[in-house]
Amino acid sequence: MSAPAPPSGRLAVYPGSFDPLTNGHVDIILRGAHLFDRILVAVLVNADKAPLFSAAERVEIVREVFREYPNVDVDTFDGLLVEYARRKRASVIVRGLRAVSDFEYEFQMALMNRHLEPSLETVFMMPAEQYTYLSSRLIKEVFSLGGQVRGLVPPLVEARLRATSASPRPVSSEGGSV
């Protein structure tokens, strides 16, 4: 028995907070844009968290960074990812894995998503080696302590981080100091 042909116009959803967008995210998005007909960067809106950048700012940043890539779209979502993916008619969820420590959580989420929507596949992608240690939380912490983030985030993000340092905003403190 042969596998059914994939639908034309395969859409992948890459969900996350992207607060801020890192070069690890950029790497995954670019490679996803080559693998799928379209990749939708789905910016999570979580009212319980105080992000560094608003959802509108994060969408604007992603749009600007990927303005030359017509198959990269950006949107916001809240609630269940599988419901969002179903509404968008996506067939794939893209998730990044940086280290073994990410795997257990991501594996559980992928199995739950499969339980909720069996037709939705999860594809795990590793970022380029030089970005495997990066996280948005780490970028915010390093920047807030005066560290250099050049080469770890797109230049637009670095400029926006500098602009936010002119007007103090709360930084999430998930973890110890660097």
Which pLDDT score, from 0 to 100, does residue 176 have?
42
**Would you give the distance in Å from CA 65 to the centre of its chain?**
13
The secondary structure of 126-156 as a DSSP string is PPPGGGTT--HHHHHHHHHTT---BTTB-HH
Reported as a single tens digit per residue, the pLDDT across 85-95 is: 999 999 999 99
Interval 119-143 mean pLDDT? 94
pLDDT at residue 4, rounded to an integer:
43
Give the span between the Cα atoms of 93 and 16, in whole angstroms: 11
Higher-confidence residue: 44 or 174?
44
What local confidence, expressed as pLDDT, does residue 8 receive?
54
Work out the mean pLDDT of the chain and round it to a whole number: 89
List all residues 6 or more positions away from 44 whose beta carbon is below 8 Å from its beta carbon.
Answer: 15, 16, 17, 76, 77, 78
pLDDT at position 66, please?
Answer: 98
Domain spans of the chain, in order of start: 11-166
Tell me: the pLDDT tens digits for 18-69? 999 999 999 999 999 999 999 999 999 987 778 999 999 999 999 999 999 9
Q: Which amino acid is at 74?
A: V
Q: How far is CA 76 from CA 4, 39, 64, 72, 99, in A?
A: 31, 13, 15, 14, 26
What pLDDT is attached to residue 167? 60
Question: What is the signed CA dihedral for 63, 68, 69, 74, rounded to 10 degrees?
Answer: 10
Which two structure tokens, joined as six digits, stand for 16?
Answer: 């996350």
Catalytic residues: 25, 49, 98, 136
Give the number of other CB atoms < 10 A from CB of residue 58. 26
Mean pLDDT for the stretch of residues 98-117: 92
* Residue 138, both tokens: 């780490």
What architecture is the 11-166 domain classified under in CATH?
3-Layer(aba) Sandwich (3.40)
Over the stretch 135-171, which tens digit does the pLDDT of each residue have? 999 999 999 999 999 999 999 999 999 998 766 545 4
Give yes or no for residue 3 having a pLDDT over 50.
no
